Structure 1
Amino acid sequence: MDTVNLAIVGATGAVGEVVVELLEKSTFPVDQLHLLASERTAGTSLLFRSKPLMVNLLESFDFTQVHMVVFVATDAVSLEYVPKAQKAGCLVIDNSQAYAGSLSDTVSSPPFNTPLNAPFVIPGVNSEVLSTDNKPSLVINPDSSVVSLWTVLKPIYDAVGIQRVNVCTYDSVSRLGKKATHELATQTASLLNAQGAEPKFYSQQVAFNVLPNVGELDENGHSDSELRLVEQSQKIIDDAQLQVNATCIQVPVFYADGMAVTIETGDAIDASAVREILEKNSEIKVLDENSEDGFATPVTSAAGKNTIFVSRIRNDMSHQRGINLWIVADNVRRGAALNTILIAEELKKSYL
């Protein structure tokens, strides 16, 4: 098959709009592109190949018109429409958490694929799970932090092994969608005008503040974001012995996340050798104290970029096999939208 008919569910959302933008710039061979959304935004249009493309109503769409469907919508939308797309014979890429492990284990017998056998994929990290011997009808795009984290850590894992990862994420509001970014903008403007900042989307003020949890907490005090990071890391690396500890913090930044990471390696390695490994990866840019622009930050380095940036690579003072590093990446663009395009390219190459 030379070209692909593709549908994007949730095309008018924060991630969906960037998927459309990156799709136009990519070499992915789209023939017909169908943009789908709810009644609220159906009837609007997005530019694709310099022409306005109408957004159609998801509810009435016939999935037999397309070969592949990208879901960048809510869990509820994916739960309802992913099975319909699969039944129509489509390959499906899902960006929600509807089929993503323990948080979806309560879903009763979804057809064709279950949460246990729908693979999480980061092309270049674990592309081998998309083998022609085990064609999946559903592929899950991991959490954006997981994509950035393991794009950086996998080359180190391959070189010397990693036994433990301790990560603290500093999450931008855009990972929770347009309502979250609107709330940060509204609260910021209100406070700068000496007015109050009543929280609506968040439980507390997010502007000029730091919130100690991202998502709901379980009975042990772990947030769903932290649990996803742990579980998806182990699945992607296919290493149940890998120890991962995560803390996810909400910061008042619009786009791009930061991660303070400490790893315990299997074999000893120093910071200079880690830097050499990472500098060989075209998807990563190392910015250290000698860089013209200084250390990497979410706003000045990563926002709006496809690259993952790494700074502050150094030996851990408390452990002889410990390495500390700082990672920043645009969660919407690199973690969600671009990884979706890369998965689509892998599926096209293997199965269409």
Structure 2
Amino acid sequence: MTEGVSVALLGATTQAGESVRELLEEREFPLAALYFVEHEERAGGKLSFGGKNLAVQDAEKFDFSTVQIAIVVGDRTLAEQYAEVAATEEVVVVDCTGHSCGALDVPLVIPELNPEALANYRRRNIVAAPNSVSVAMLLALKPIHDSVGIKCVTVTACQAVSELGQPGMEELATQATSMFNLKPIESNVFAKQIAFNILPAVEVVDENGYAESERALVQAAQQILGDETIDVSPTLIWGPVFFGHSMSIDLELSGQLDANAAQKLLDVAPGVSVMNGAEPAQMPTAVTEAAGSDLVYVGRIRQPISGGERLSLWLVTDNVRRGVALNGVQIAEILVKEHLESGN
């Protein structure tokens, strides 16, 4: 659609919103108009885009009939309150907050892996994006599953505090400063001190010991890999890092695949960069490689010492830019190119 489409960005003032704005401009998204939308308490200011300062509008007063696509990031309550409102106006909502995940009539999409799922976007005019851990993990696992099959995934993901936006980042910074100045530590965003600490759960866990985001990861893995029999055992934790998730992943495979063969698969996987050197300095980290990047970095690809049809790997990614913003923008790009243009 050469003339462009009108887009509303809900959550525009959040960290994820900032990354979406950057990507829309960098990727020259075909815009006819762009509107920044927020909850009332965050509205009223201005944000720069394309050399102009655009007003941040109140979601409660915004006329969704003026746009064709609404990208929702950051604050889950924005999706809870306005996704259906926009969808009833025939706006295609790209929900990157996690609110719409799990709905059977809403396609769950990672553009590099299952763009065909977007064919069903008109069921409710809503498209869901998986959480940032799921996006990164599945970009690495899909080529392996397609090659030999995966029986079981055990993943421990250390999440960056920016997953909770500016409040999470400010709490880490404030606590670190307080520690250096020998002042008392206050925890308002996280359950316990996050500075120089690891927290064993990212949310309240259910009677079986799993958090909602961990269950969402299981559902996303089975749905996008197309195999409900895959056993996924996730542990999501908090680490004192501003940007970039880090994951240790162990796989039980359905067939033989050695480390060299796995690396060859990942070398050509979309959105993946392999750093599989033997020296620690040749291995990817959240801070030195992932932060600010659009790629998922994979290293330490190896088989267990005891052998068998198993594989282990290390993975890092920018949770905000790659895990949320880029996924949402890519979904919108496909909608414009392959669906909205034809009027479907």
Q: Does the alignment reach a TM-score above 0.5? A: yes
**Structure 2 residue aligned with 1:281:** 269
In structure 2, what is the Cα distance between the partners aligned to 1:27 and 1:291? Answer: 39
- Is residue 302 of structure 2 the alignment partner of residue 301 of structure 1? no
TM-score (norm 2): 0.95
Task: Assess, with a 3 A threshold, how the Cα gap between structure 1 residues 136 and 155 changes in structure 2: closer, same or farther.
Answer: farther
In structure 2, what is the Cα distance between the partners aligned to 1:345 and 1:133? Answer: 14
**142-151 or 283-292: which moved more?**
283-292
Q: Which runs of 5+ in 1 are unaligned?
A: 102-114
Pairwise CA distance, 1:73: 4.0
SS at match of 1:76: helix
- Is residue 249 of structure 2 the alignment partner of residue 248 of structure 1? no
Amino acid of the structure 2 residue aligned with 1:227: R
Matches within 5 A, 1:7-26: 7-26=8-27
In structure 2, what is the Cα distance between the partners aligned to 1:289 and 1:124? Answer: 26
**Structure 1 residue aligned with 2:88:** 87
Give deviations 1:95-134, integer Å, cap 9, x for gaps: 1232222xxxxxxxxxxxxx11101100111111122796
SS at match of 1:255: coil
Please say if residues 17 and 73 of structure 2, whose CA atoms lie closer than 8 Å, have aligned partners that are also in contact.
Answer: yes
Amino acid of the structure 2 residue aligned with 1:139: V
- Is residue 36 of structure 2 the alignment partner of residue 48 of structure 1? no
**Structure 2 residue aligned with 1:230:** 218
In structure 2, what is the Cα distance between the partners aligned to 1:292 and 1:254? Answer: 21
- Is residue 171 of structure 2 the alignment partner of residue 183 of structure 1? yes
Task: Assess, with a 3 A threshold, how the Cα gap between structure 1 residues 133 and 248 changes in structure 2: closer, same or farther.
Answer: closer
Please say if residues 132 and 351 of structure 1, whose CA atoms lie closer than 8 Å, have aligned partners that are also in contact.
Answer: no
Pairwise CA distance, 1:336: 0.1
SS at match of 1:320: coil
Identity within the alignment, %: 38
**Structure 1 residue aligned with 2:200:** 212
Pairwise CA distance, 1:136: 5.4
Matches within 5 A, 1:1-352: 1-2=1-2, 3-101=4-102, 115-131=103-119, 137-289=125-277, 293-352=281-340
SS at match of 1:148: helix
Task: Assess, with a 3 A threshold, how the Cα gap between structure 1 residues 292 and 246 changes in structure 2: closer, same or farther.
Answer: closer
In structure 1, what is the Cα distance between the partners aligned to 2:307 and 2:230? Answer: 17
Please say if residues 187 and 193 of structure 2, whose CA atoms lie closer than 8 Å, have aligned partners that are also in contact.
Answer: yes
**131-140 or 3-12: which moved more?**
131-140
In structure 1, what is the Cα distance between the partners aligned to 2:106 and 2:224? Answer: 12
Amino acid of the structure 2 residue aligned with 1:238: G
Please say if residues 106 and 121 of structure 2, whose CA atoms lie closer than 8 Å, have aligned partners that are also in contact.
Answer: no
Pairwise CA distance, 1:159: 1.1
Structure 1 segments of 4+ aligned residues over 6 angstroms from their partners: none
In structure 2, what is the Cα distance between the partners aligned to 1:46 and 1:21? Answer: 12
Amino acid of the structure 2 residue aligned with 1:100: C
Count of residues in Structure 1 that have an aligned counterpart in Structure 2: 339
SS at match of 1:205: coil
Q: CA RMSD in A?
A: 1.6
In structure 2, what is the Cα distance between the partners aligned to 1:291 and 1:275? Answer: 17
In structure 1, what is the Cα distance between the partners aligned to 2:215 and 2:266? Answer: 27
Give deviations 1:246-274, integer Å, cap 9, x for gaps: 11111100100001001111110100000
Please say if residues 132 and 350 of structure 1, whose CA atoms lie closer than 8 Å, have aligned partners that are also in contact.
Answer: no
Task: Assess, with a 3 A threshold, how the Cα gap between structure 1 residues 237 and 281 changes in structure 2: closer, same or farther.
Answer: closer
In structure 1, what is the Cα distance between the partners aligned to 2:78 and 2:285? Answer: 34
Pairwise CA distance, 1:162: 1.0
Q: Which runs of 5+ in 2 are unaligned?
A: none
In structure 2, what is the Cα distance between the partners aligned to 1:135 and 1:220? Answer: 33
In structure 1, what is the Cα distance between the partners aligned to 2:120 and 2:174? Answer: 49
In structure 2, what is the Cα distance between the partners aligned to 1:351 and 1:14? Answer: 29
